Structure 1
Amino acid sequence: MERNPVGKLLLFGATGDLAKRMLLPSLYGLHADGLLPAGLTITGSARSDLNDDAFRDVTRKALDEFLPADRKDAGAIDSFLQRLQFQPADLSDPNSFQPLADKIGDVSSGLAIYLSTAPSLFEPAVRGLESVGLAGDTVRIGLEKPLGYDLESSREINDTVASAFPEDRIFRIDHYLGKETVQNILALRFGNSMFEPIWNATGIDNVQITIAETVGLEDRAGYYEGAGALRDMVANHVLQLVALIAMEPPALYDGTAIRDEKAKVFRSLRHMKPEEVQGYTVTGQYEEGAVSGKVVRGYDSELGYDSDVETFVAIKAFVDNWRWQGVPFYLRTGKRMAKRRSEIAIQFKPVPHSMFSGRGGLLQPNKLIIRLQPEEYIQLLVMTKEPGLDREGIKLREVPLNLSLDAQFAGSRRRIAYERLLLDLIEGDQTLFVRRDEVEAQWRWIDAIRAGWAAAQTKPKHYAAGTWGPAGAIALTERDGVSWHDD
């Protein structure tokens, strides 16, 4: 991959929570390790009326609060702060953009823009940038979700951005794709000869993907009420994981080849008819319960009024192609669940005949667990014989073969996802960013589900905070003789 680093970075929303927790610490980490271009300047922008020194103070406090102790280096922090400057801007005010362009100056060395804003501000932001020359051939733009709430709104946003930036200069961000373990899915599948021959409907019985959160609304009430679990998590993170598990082998490790194969998966997702949606999806909303021993309020109580927005969704999905025909993909995500966990569980089919059954030995199908958080590991569950003389029969036990990435690479610093994504944005590598045809194929599938919910006037079932969701989610798998991997 030919890299084309820019000389300037413009960070919108530079005083917000995401910037303080993730973006500024990530940029500092890249700076401290000598990975940023030597002359790169970082211009922060927000509605806050700050000057350069005040923004540097905000950044210093953010680094002090959110950097691990072993990453704090006074000299590195001081030199990082010298890269920073600030220009106030209101994206809804066309008059804000010329002072911003003046502050940034000449962009012939290349400019990367990181835009994290409400969907309603995408059009005025793009028009304003274009009007002052901040959308030319040397400028690329990174877009944080949400990129719309359905196919129609997504197309409107994409059309707006495309009117000023061609696709090869648009970087749509899904931070899950920056996680080390997510990228390890590609290494596991395509770097090891033993998996690919059975990575299909012949060898795999089902795939389960879980993204469970223990947190509730926090400060996202306004956004979440308009989104819900399906739009918030399934429409990006969960479906991106589906694509990495289900995709065909790319010819090359580059942005075009990998994203071509992911897009094929999204186009192969079986669209549900309205009358099928009730049988293939379960929705829930948390009520009062206990999380980690602490009593927490229900969603409606946190919100202050009754709502029919789902905080949990489970889906039985299918990928209709040669490789995956008939293999169910069980997907679930929710808030206020029993544990914080993101993982993929791949259950292989049982052996065709058990030679041990006549001696009392019971076999379990092999299972591959890819844990993304909070720990990061890959675990293969295999059958072994318990030690003994076997006079009372053969006893078999399922044991794990573990690859703990935390332990195996203990000497390597584990980078947060935004470090990789920001560096790729700065250097122009689109491999881990989402292409327009991917986004729109995802929304077509999501919209079909929502149409089914609307037709049936579906309301979420309540589940106690601190559990694994409503009972219907268990029934979704159990009626197929499958249990969720909750260990």
Structure 2
Amino acid sequence: MVKEKSAIFIIFGGSGDLAHRKLYPSLFRLYKSGFLKDHFAVIGTARRPWSDDYFRETVITSLKDYFDDDEDVMKEFAKHFYYQSHDVNDSEHYIALKNLAAKLDDQFDCGHNRVYYMAIAPRFFGTVAEHINSEGLKTSGYNRLVIEKPFGRDLDSACELNGNISKAFPEDDIYRIDHYLGKEMVQDIPHIRANNPTFEKAMNNKYVSNIQVTLAESLGVEDRGGYYETAGVLRDMVQNHIMQIIGAVASDEPDATDAKVIHQHKCDLFGSLKELTPEQVDKSFVRGQYDTDKLGEKKSYREEDKVASDSEIETFTAGKIEFESKRWSGVPFYVRSGKRLPDKQSRVDIVFNDKVADLGIRANTVVTLLIEQIDGQSILINGINYKDSGQDFIKFPEEAEFNHAREAYESLIIDILSGNRVHFTLWDELRSTWKYIDTIRERWDSQTPEFPNYISGTMGPDAAEMLLERDGNTWIWD
């Protein structure tokens, strides 16, 4: 039975695309399921001078893009929504926000619980957090600060941002969103490992040849050219999403249930990242930028809106990541992500060597975990040969328990309201991954790439294939 939760959501950037495209539909799903019912309210803030009624209309309009529900249900849901025009630098606006939240807390009996959601530009995170603290918005219930990526653009800026936020909120109250950690397949990876002893026994450098993580997109940057010019795929996908997927696949003790234990194992893993010299960056990482397609019908990256005509920003990267831990020393983690590839794919390919036959498994078996469901499949297992018919190499939960119906943001909002920090990113993890990524970025910034260097609709630059071929390996998805 679903247990109803109580809270006031204060969404900074409540008029924006993220709120209407992701947050409000997710909150509506929770409303329909009973997880949110009578004891919640949402305050949207932004600079626009909207009324409550107009704000509610925008919410209902956004829901109609995703749901076929009776509009009366949507209107009942929208009655919990309120709007306040807000200047993030104006202390008086925070006092008005505090008074409105207190009024709604009494009206909806929300238990003095607050969720402060930063759906705004990262440059405002510190300012808003400081004002929440200084203007006394915190209450006697819980006060949880939710932050969207990007969390900084390098180690120095991330440290500065974290320092500003930490003055106002303790680490235990900070929820850094990485929406890939809300995907059910990523959340299920530790459970799959913990519930399959033979599979888990094989998950180390004795039996694993290599592990491959691919996050591929068939689209270009679309309307995100301005953002991509400041980020690139290395910052946008590798530093956060890919690293966190590796954390789920490779951390020790996957059967742990305590958030602090789980995060400590992830911190240990990322702390063992093998440092790169500039010369090793050249050898271990590849970057690319898409050109038009073979027919010349699609824009190249440099022709996209808000993109410089001589841009040196990468839309593709592939690399070999190594760890110096006892468990994974010597095992390459090949990663790649890019725009305008042949298809959309989010997957992990675990390639076992011939020694895995000692465990009763066919040599060179490949286990593929599909991060996003494709044709009804979540796990693909190639080349399985059971030594003992009574013991499978890998089992996964029954369909009723293992489905992808829940959206990532819906799952993460449930965790926020429940105080479950397992599927969020801690500062110590970010510090290690930023330090690693900065080494690559600094090397690339000192060189001039020959862009564009791959045709839209292909698998990226040829160097991405050569990266594995030098080690005697190949990409599983090609």
Task: State the TM-score, normalizing by the size of structure 2.
Answer: 0.89
Indicate how the Cα distance of structure 1 residues 410 and 296 shifts in structure 2: closer, same or farther if over 3 A, else same.
farther
Matching residue of 1:81 = 78
1:452 and 2:451 aligned = no
Question: 1:474 corresponds to which residue?
Answer: 465
Cα deviation for residue 451 of structure 1 reads 2.2
Q: Structure 2 counterpart of 1:89, which letter? A: H
Out of 247, 254, 257, the position equivalent to 1:253 is 257
Q: Distance in 2 between matches of 1:437 and 1:115?
A: 21
Change (3 A) 1:7 1:352: closer
Secondary structure at 1:8 match in 2: strand
Q: Which residue in the other structure is 2:310 paired with?
A: 306
Residues 373 and 404 of structure 2 are in contact (CA less than 8 Å); yes or no, is this contact kept in structure 1?
no
RMSD: 2.6
Q: 1:110 aligns with which of 96, 110, 113?
A: 113
C-alpha distance in 1, partners of 2:332/2:88? 44
Does the C-alpha gap of structure 1 residues 78 and 412 become closer, same or farther in structure 2, counting only changes over 3 Å?
farther
Alignment of 1:123-138 (within 5 A): 123-135=126-138, 138=142
- Alignment TM-score, normalising by the size of structure 1: 0.88
Matched to 2:368, the amino acid is I
CA distance in 1, matches of 2:89, 2:118: 14
**Counterpart in the other structure of 2:217:** 213
Tell me, yes or no, if structure 1 residue 420 matches structure 2 residue 411.
yes
Asked if structure 2 preserves the Cα contact closer than 8 Å seen for 1:4 and 1:428, the reply is: no
The one-letter amino acid paired with 1:110 is N
Q: Residue 198 of structure 1 corresponds to which residue in structure 2?
A: 202
State the alpha-carbon separation in 2 of the partners of residues 420 and 427 from structure 1. 11
Give the count of matched residue pairs. 456
The alpha-carbon distance between structure 1 residues 37 and 165, as it changes in their structure 2 partners (threshold 3 A), is farther
Q: CA deviation at 1:402?
A: 10
Name whichever of 42-51 and 332-341 sits farther off. 42-51
Deviations 1:418-453 (A, max 9, x none): 001112112221111111101111101111111222
Where 2:354 maps in the other structure, the secondary structure is: coil
Change (3 A) 1:160 1:411: closer
Query: Relative to structure 1, is the Cα distance of residues 230 and 4 closer, same or farther in structure 2, using a 3 angstrom cutoff?
Result: farther
Per-residue CA deviation, residues 330-380 of structure 1 (Å, 9 max, x unaligned), is 0000111111010000000025899xxxxxxxx861000001125251111
Alpha-carbon distance between aligned partners in 2 of 1:184 and 1:127, rounded to the nearest angstrom: 36
Pairing 1:434–2:425 present: yes
The code of the aligned residue for 1:422 comes to I
Specify the SS of the correspondent of 1:77. Answer: helix
- Aligned residue in 1 for 2:190: 186
Distance 1:178 1:198, change over 3 A: same
Unaligned runs of 5+ in 2: 106-110, 387-392
Q: Secondary structure at the match of 1:295?
A: coil
2: distance between equivalents of 1:175 and 1:443?
18
Instruction: Please give the alpha-carbon distance, in whole angstroms, between the structure 2 residues aligned to 1:402 and 1:74.
Output: 45
Is residue 101 of structure 1 aligned with residue 98 of structure 2? yes
- 2:134 partner letter: S
Judging changes above 3 Å, is the alpha-carbon distance between structure 1 residues 294 and 52 closer, same or farther for their aligned structure 2 residues? Answer: farther
**How is 1:16-27 mapped onto 2 (pairs within 5 angstroms)?**
16-27=16-27
Q: 2:347 aligns with which of 331, 340, 343?
A: 343
Deviation track 1:141-196 (CA, whole Å, cap 9, x = no partner) reads: 00001110001100111111100000111100001001011111111111111111
My pick for the range that moved more, 249-258 or 314-323, is 249-258
**Structure 2 letter corresponding to 1:25:** P
CA distance in 2, matches of 1:412, 1:378: 12
Q: Is the 8 A contact 2:196 2:394 kept in 1?
A: no
User: Match for residue 143 of structure 1?
Assistant: 147
The answer to whether the Cα contact below 8 Å between 1:203 and 1:349 also exists between their aligned partners in 2 is yes
Partner of 1:270: 274
Match for 2:169 among 154, 165, 176? 165
- CA deviations on 1:71-90 (whole Å, 9 max, x unpaired) are x2444323211211111112
Other-structure match for 1:372: 371
Q: Answer yes or no: is 1:15 the counterpart of 2:15.
A: yes
Cα distance between partner residues in 2 of 1:135 and 1:42:
16
CA displacement 1:45-102 (0-9 Å, x = unmatched): 12221111111100110000123x3xx2444323211211111112244443222222
Aligned partners of 1:347 and 1:365 also within 8 Å: yes
Where does residue 54 of structure 2 map in the other structure?
Answer: 54
Unaligned stretches of 5+ in structure 1? 355-362, 386-400
Tell me how far apart the structure 2 counterparts of residues 127 and 183 of structure 1 sit (CA, whole Å): 32
How much has 1:274 moved relative to structure 2? 1.2
| 1:114 and 1:143 in contact (8 A); partners too | yes
- Cα distance between partner residues in 2 of 1:93 and 1:284: 43
Q: Show the 5 A alignment for 1:387-398.
A: none
In the alignment, the residues of structure 2 paired with residue 377 and residue 131 of structure 1 have an alpha-carbon distance, to the nearest angstrom, of: 47
> Which amino acid in structure 1 is aligned with residue 117 of structure 2?
Y
Between 1:447-456 and 1:426-435, the stretch displaced more is: 447-456
1:40 aligns with 2:40: yes
User: 2:132 is matched by which residue type in structure 1?
Assistant: L
